[in-house]
Structure 1
């Protein structure tokens, strides 16, 4: 008797189904313990310098260790609207002094500086614009909580001087106005995601319980993973946005994995199999697909560790935890739940009574014409594809290549105030300040450390640095020096020419680093917005090949082991790369070229946020494997049961149509909600992810995959002889009815 091949997912699922109460109790205890323990420990957020790279990171780390007082600095722009009023006129001076008196009266500010003080605040060359500078009292981290009275005071002065523009901006006021708006955006997106997901699941299953179980499992996985993050973050600190990314990915994969599992169990029950046998088959087939898919997603996410950037590494940490937790939940608690619930999973409320009924429901299975576990609608689509595979490949590939061509002109840039879309007055204030005082809002920050930076000799060096920097013509006022309490670190702030994100500003930073600093303050480091962006881009240019190579190589190895086919593994990589490239093209067309910007409610700034392309590649490559592995597993299962390749492709795709359609719609809907956020970066992420998943689940999986498999025929299963040692993994125990004689089955090619 032939020995059965090992199937880890089937073993785990079988144990959970047989010991359902133990499996449920262990899961509940796991979620509870990780949640309470995680809350007790607390998630360790990364320090500001940990998100930086290169010279900027060194500067940031020195500043972090220098014990500078945490100060929130603010400015009030005072600018003539019309006429010839200047800072020397009495009306202008009166307005400036009114600002000073009003903000000091709040009791929340200190160190107020005006153009009329001994150390004056800056004034433009035409004398029509100046700044009133001040610091908020108390800790800078909590200044946003105390800024409201100051904002009201400035608004009151503006009302008394209509001929002048009097507007406030700064870190605290930005956090108050913009931060609250963005927080509301995320809350709205999260509130939209859950009901949309639940609605699609109701359409997919036509049963309330079947729709609730995947969402509940996904949410408990997210909660548990968040608790685990508190422990791992003690070793690798995370960015505050990590939890949002975990919600996005966790909801997508958690629901998808449950969909795969539940749909297969229902399908086997519909064939007349017993509950236990249906669960065994679901565990051996969909459970195994979930395991392979989860490992592939984890591998893709792990690629972000190679970037060396703290934000990416934190994203990798969080997403790996949530995917692993979702996989564990799908393989353990889900079969236990299905074993406990039984056929009541199909129950729906009818006139206040729970009934198990299927007739009359409008579900995807009806819309897609699913009969006998296969979709007649997708079968109708596949017929011409398989009848004319070469034409289908040429047309589909041509369409994706056409979408990908714009990606060749992809241009990235750092996040700036322009990233904030919508009617935010403070954004316009920042732009006016930057226009009046170039480099003033994003100056270069030079950090130098010594035994004593206040000695006459060192002070002279700082003065010489200022002289030479200004003499280059690439730096300008304002120029400030701040000394730490131990007098061991000097933080020098100096304005630089350009917009802060253009070549002019970048050249100014290069000049400071390569010419001025070596001649005056050797060993000093430069940070600031421009410098940080430059160092980030330099780091990415070095590590992107490593990330791409790591993800592609390990995904290839996983697929090769899973399906014992060199061709399947190579083709999966190529198809995924094609769909990612097409998504990049869509990003360029929409956000760089501005097509459809009015429809989506944003204004193009001509660039894509610098970290988005790499993040999209990693996320998309991982998530798109969900469908590919699921469909290929079903195709391989059919092939292993004796079907010819073309027949196995038809059965595999038509039998998974309802699941793939539902899973794709959920991901597209969840990701699309991010397009409603105020930050352009999140709009890019939302549209990019939604477009890629839509392309992947339709053009790639419905046309390119089957057509290419038909063209390759028996070569799909080619495995060189020297790889014959690879383990033979089971693709399930499903009883698939053979429509062709075993003698007609194509042989596996071995080279």
Structure 2
């Protein structure tokens, strides 16, 4: 016998008397509505005043492996060699017709030198030198602005001067800033523009999906308004946090996307449940109490799962990767806080008016979906064919993962017309394919001659510059070695390893391209640890909430399966190039190196989000009836429409990033969009309900000793 919560008569007595902790919390929010609204008004106004400066305030660099040899080389170069390390600003001056000896070209070089001299963040300006920074034909020269400031400030130097520097170009002479700092400047700008465009495109699509899901303009608008409040607060919060520790500008990009997607998910789950409650009770306070006691617990658990998953990324010793996770976590905290405090107040004030401006068909809409009830019944009758079919498709998509290659992004991710890309191409054409990846070797002065001799004999090194003693008398020497291969090629990494293997003791090898290699190595090394921590913590959180070890384990495993399937699809698209012409990009032959660690955490968090929505609803009905069939059938009937609508919103948000020109946001949008599509369509609406049917009472069984240890959590109300 299956019992539905919709069976209570509309006039049933309010059930808030015996509400749990979250039910009482929701009622308290409603009773203190003025204070809640005032508090949120202060938060939004105070942090909102800082929000407009978020992109100009946040850090532009941080893509490094802390403690690596290459980062040590950069810091030693900044301290002892006038900042001639990887973050130095390089300005390429080139002419097809003129040479460096020509007065017109020399005049432009002098102007470039003057611009660099005028910035206190530049420690020294090194004029073009024959044999090192002037091409053999004399048509290309590089002016070097040494870094006095840190890597983030040097990106701001590039931001501040690239327009003025390129403006020095004449009909005969082209000027383009290049190097790591200029690259991150152009790269961040291109990605910021792409993110903003994608967000603007996603809002109207999202609103349309919400109207279809709710059938009411008022109900559809609530999640968007609450998400906006969370976004404004998180933007201002990031500005404040940046005063304590540098936060990558990418943190805000990801926070915007995740806050919109998750904020709508959470609000959707609560608003749908409130509409059912107000229909049953007629009393807004009782409806809010019931909503928070049931759906509110699921939202809180989901938010904690997201935060736990992303916290594992903090283990990776890369500032940009860590702070991207921090940005998303901060956005989730604000969105979760708005959902659990501000939303109950708004719902309590609206009452039945939550259904205002409804479409005609929506007035008959119930929380329990007849369509998903029929779908659940079909899965109940024939679980094996659907389970095997969904599992086979997911495994088929997972297989390509075993051929996945990862590497740090190449120069191709920057638009072809960006100054840094043009400067990079000019340097390669004039000085060799490996010139943009110049190796920097810092060694004790006594070992410098031997180090230079060894470096010159390494296969893959085409030239070695004479050792340059530190001008401050610190006892170090700087040697620059020119590799033969492009910095993004596997051969470059091999050459770097050879040089490091043969250097005398006390020598360090770095450079901008070496920093990328070291970062990729760190990401690869930490990936198993991050995955293990996410899986372990996700399972423990689900176990504590559901108090059912088998279904908690199955929930974690199927979430892992949807994640690997998404990366399998990513391999086919971005590494092998299937659909590249349709999506408008040139394949690099690999996936960006930070994607496995970071996207794994994001995808797993989203997958567990849907798992919580489905299993918490199923557990609620199992607790009421004691029948596993009720958990499977009614869980799907009551949460299926919400999961489908939430997935539609997320897919719309993520896929808008597929329209971006830069490759990284395109990768992000497609990978996350595919992950959500696979997770909702194959796992939450097919495989997991089928597993509930096949495992029966075993899904919810918990040994007595474990039940005594776990916290007492129930998803029923009253």
TM-score normalised by length of structure 1: 0.83
**Equivalent residue in structure 2 for 1:99, among 80, 102, 105:** 105
Q: Structure 1 residues 120 and 588, CA, compared in 2 at 3 Å: closer, same or farther? A: closer
Inter-CA distance 167–477: structure 2 relative to 1 (3 Å threshold): farther
Contact 2:310/2:601 (<8 A) preserved: yes
Superposed CA offset, 1:672-705 (max 9, x none): 1222222212211110000000111111111101
Q: Does 1:277 align with 2:286?
A: yes
- 2:488 equivalent among 501, 507, 515: 501
**Corresponding residue number in structure 1 for 2:441:** 446
Change (3 A) 1:270 1:392: same
Residue 396 (structure 2) pairs with residue 413 (structure 1): no
Whole-Å Cα distance in 1 between the matches of residues 568 and 295 of structure 2?
33
* 1:353 aligned residue: none
Aligned mate of 2:275, from 266, 272, 280: 266
CA distance, structure 1, for counterparts of residue 623 and residue 695 of structure 2 = 17
- 1:339-393 Cα offsets, whole Å, 9 max, x none, are 1122222222xxxxxxxx45256xxxx9xxx854222333343343222111111
Tell me whether 1:733 sits opposite 2:717 in the alignment: yes
Change (3 A) 1:102 1:311: closer
- 1:36 to partner: Cα distance: 5.5
Q: How far, CA to CA, are the matches of 1:152 and 1:307 in structure 2?
A: 40
> Match of 2:376?
382
Name the SS of the counterpart of 1:494 in structure 2: strand
> Is residue 511 of structure 2 the alignment partner of residue 528 of structure 1?
yes
Counterpart of 2:249 in structure 1 is: 240
- In the alignment, which of 599, 616, 623 is matched to residue 606 of structure 2? 623
**Alpha-carbon distance change, 113 to 103 in structure 1, aligned in 2, over 3 angstroms:** closer
* Preserved CA contact (<8 Å) 2:58 2:249: no
Distance across 1 between alignment mates of 2:59 and 2:185: 20
Equivalent residues of 2:312, 2:530 under 8 A apart:
yes
Q: CA deviation at 1:443?
A: 1.1
Counterpart check, 1:228 vs 2:237: yes
- Offset at residue 491 of structure 1 (A): 4.4
Aligned partner of 2:93 in structure 1 is 76
1:454 is matched with which residue?
none
Match of 1:468 in 2: 454
- Please show how residues 476-625 of structure 1 align to structure 2 within 5 Å: 476-477=462-463, 479=465, 486-488=472-474, 490-516=477-503, 518=504, 522-625=505-608
Equivalent pair of 1:6/1:730 in contact (CA under 8 Å): no
Deviation for aligned residue 1:314? 1.2
| Partners of 2:408 and 2:517 within 8 A in 1 | no
Written as runs of structure 1 = structure 2, the 5 A alignment for 1:392-403 is: 392-403=386-397
The C-alpha deviation readout for 1:101-144, integer Å capped at 9, x for no partner, is: 34546764686866xx76664446xx5x8522224699964344
For residue 555 of structure 1, report the CA deviation from its aligned partner.
1.1
Describe the superposition over 1:462-484 as per-residue Cα deviations: whole angstroms up to 9, x where unpaired.
34432331122432337376777
Residues 489-532 of structure 1: CA distance to partner in whole angstroms, max 9, x if unpaired?
Answer: 6544322232223332222222222212x1xxx32322223322
Secondary structure at the counterpart of residue 92 of structure 2: strand
Q: Is the 8 A contact 1:620 1:689 kept in 2?
A: yes
In structure 2, C-alpha distance between the alignment counterparts of 1:340 and 1:555, rounded to whole Å? 36
Residue aligning to 1:56 = 70
- The within-5 A match list for 1:649-688 is 649-688=632-671
Deviation (angstroms), 1:568:
1.0
Secondary structure at the aligned position of 2:435 is classed as: coil
Query: CA shift at 1:580, angstroms?
Result: 0.3
**Separation in structure 2 between the aligned mates of residue 425 and residue 168 of structure 1, nearest angstrom:** 5
* 3-state SS of paired residue (1:727): coil
Cα separation, partners in 2 of 1:257 and 1:605, compared to 1, 3 Å: same
How many angstroms does 1:71 deviate by? 5.0
Per-residue Cα deviation, 1:407-431 (whole angstroms, up to 9, x for no partner): 1111001111022356658636624
| In structure 1, C-alpha distance between the alignment counterparts of 2:145 and 2:65, rounded to whole Å | 25
Partner of 1:706: 689
Cα distance in 1 for partners of 2:46, 2:164 equals 43
- Distance (whole Å) between structure 1 residues aligned to residue 639 and residue 704 of structure 2: 32
TM-score of the superposed pair, with normalisation by structure 2: 0.86
Larger radius of gyration: 1
Structure 1 position 193, deviation (Å): 2.8
Match of 1:739 in 2: none
Cα separation, 1, equivalents of 2:20 and 2:281: 24
Q: How many residues align?
A: 681
Partners in 1 of 2:202 and 2:458 — Cα distance?
53
Kindly tell me: are residues 5 and 273 of structure 1, through their superposed partners in 2, closer, same or farther at Cα, counting changes over 3 Å? closer
Q: 1:272 to 1:721 in 2, by over 3 A?
A: closer
Moved more, 211-220 or 260-269: 211-220
**Corresponding residue for residue 741 of structure 1:** none
Asked if 1:433 is matched to 2:427, the reply is yes
For 2:619 and 2:67, how far apart are their aligned partners in 1?
45
Structure 2 unpaired stretches of 5+: 1-15, 118-124, 149-153
Q: Which runs of 5+ in 1 are unaligned?
A: 80-90, 159-165, 349-356, 451-457, 735-751
Q: Distance in 1 between matches of 2:458 and 2:248?
A: 37
Residues 660 and 510 of structure 1: CA distance in aligned 2, closer, same or farther (over 3 Å): same
Runs of 4+ in 1 over 6 A off after TM superposition: 3-6, 37-44, 109-112, 136-139, 480-485
| Alpha-carbon shift at residue 399 of structure 1 (Å) | 0.6
Of the candidates 157, 161, 164, which is equivalent to residue 172 of structure 2? Answer: 157
CA contact (8 A) 2:194 2:660 kept: yes
Deviations 1:225-257 (A, max 9, x none): 333334544554322211111111111111211
Give the structure 1 partner of residue 367 of structure 2: 373
Residues 80-91 of structure 1 aligned to structure 2 (within 5 Å): none
Asked if 2 retains the 8 angstrom alpha-carbon contact of 1:338 and 1:345, the reply is: yes
Instruction: Tell me how far apart the structure 2 counterparts of residues 168 and 562 of structure 1 sit (CA, whole Å).
Output: 57
What SS does structure 2 have at the residue aligned with 1:373?
A: coil
CA contact (8 A) 1:300 1:555 kept: yes
Asked whether the 8 Å contact 1:218–1:251 carries over to 2, the reply is: yes
Q: Name the CA shift for 1:574/1:113 in 2 (closer, same or farther; >3 Å).
A: same
How far apart are 1:66 and its partner, in Å? Answer: 5.0
CA distance in structure 1 between the partners assigned to 2:470 and 2:132 by the alignment: 22
Deviations for 1:516-558, whole angstroms, at most 9, x for unmatched residues? 2x1xxx3232222332233223323332222112111111111
Describe the shift of the 1:150–1:48 C-alpha distance in structure 2 as closer, same or farther (beyond 3 A): same
